[in-house]
Amino acid sequence: MRFLHTADWHIGKKLHGFDLSEAQTHAYHQIRQLAIDEQVDAVVIAGDLYDRAIPNEKSVTQLDEMLIDLNLKQHFPILAISGNHDSATRLRTGSRWFKETKYYLNTKLSQALTPIEFADTQFFLLPYFEPFEARRYFEDDQIRTAEAGMIKIVAAMQAKFNPAKKHVLVAHFFAAGSEHVDSETQVTVGGLNAIPVGLLAPFDYVALGHLHGKDALHADRVRYSGSPVKFSVSEAQQQKGVWIVDTDPFKIEFKPLSPERDVRVLENDFATLTNPQYYQQQKQDDYLAIRLTDKRVIPNVMQALREIYPNIIELERADGPVLTDTATAQIDPTLDPMTLMTQFFEQMTNDEMTAQQQTWAAQALTAATKEDN
């Protein structure tokens, strides 16, 4: 059979305060079109459908509409699991009904041991799990790590293997040896939750979710699809997309998704960035992390840049904070802490503190003073 492998939709996620819902719908439409064009037999979604345990109502509606479209309108079987960002309990509401139309959503470890069978393939849908869940399920006090749990889980799955079929695992975890970036919160590198890739050898393919880049892991048959949308500056260089997987004979192909509005790093000096001949060549409304190469203090730099680039998500100095002679000279350690902090903020950011920021600064200073006493 042929299936599409995607993961980490993170519906509801924001990018430095910017709403990504349109970007996510734009990506979804491309995924749907790929499923149609490639004539896949099913769509695999390997966890983190939502960005948070209690998504807001807009996100609930958005994901519901995507899944209704994919399963009830386009009639694709769906094979999905909950990730660490989802509330398994909330996500599973209604899932007992979904099966009627071949939308399989597993949110409990126990469900993972019953394969979903297609003509030539057994799918094992393993939701994100914590070591204690495996410990409880197998009634084995020795299970203290995800790895120890996974050894038991794989053995239990192998006991269900039909040798006449191919075996695909869908899961959501950190595979040991993967490279990760900073948007993948709650990722434990090499800690209690890492799963050695060697454990996964019994499967013909492992469709993973959790890490957001398709190249996070280098293994032919164990792959992250990555997220369909860039979720942070650290993902700026990643090519987002999905895998199209054939089980027999095994074949895998990456299909890129193109963003409506890209996440990019723009490194240049202020004069160039604000020169029409330069910026008119740019997609000005991309989400931009700007690295200024200037060394000097530039008044109102953020405001000036936002007039040209409306979706700035980061503004940094390429060579670290500006500390001109004038600036360092201005910092007088005999000043009161609030004045010092205000001056430091202005020199670092080229911006004045807002009223809210002043309140926070004052609270932080009060707290710090209390701890001193």
Would you tell me which residues interact with a second copy (CB under 8 A)?
54, 57, 60-61, 64, 68, 71-72, 87, 89-90, 92-98, 100-101, 103
Which residues, 6+ apart, have CB-to-CB distance to 144 below 8 Å? Answer: 131, 135, 192
Which residues, 6+ apart, have CB-to-CB distance to 325 below 8 Å? Answer: none
Q: Based on CB atoms, which residue is closest to a second copy, 90 or 221? A: 90
Q: Based on CB atoms, which residue is closest to a second copy, 101 or 300? A: 101
Q: Based on CB atoms, which residue is closest to a second copy, 93 or 272? A: 93
Q: Based on CB atoms, which residue is closest to a second copy, 101 or 366? A: 101
- The minimum distance between CB 77 and a second copy, in angstroms, equals 13
- The minimum distance between CB 130 and a second copy, in angstroms, equals 15
Q: Based on CB atoms, which residue is closest to a second copy, 90 or 317? A: 90
- The minimum distance between CB 101 and a second copy, in angstroms, equals 6
Q: Based on CB atoms, which residue is closest to a second copy, 73 or 283? A: 73
- The minimum distance between CB 14 and a second copy, in angstroms, equals 19
- The minimum distance between CB 81 and a second copy, in angstroms, equals 16
- The minimum distance between CB 108 and a second copy, in angstroms, equals 11
Q: Based on CB atoms, which residue is closest to a second copy, 58 or 296? A: 58
- The minimum distance between CB 30 and a second copy, in angstroms, equals 23
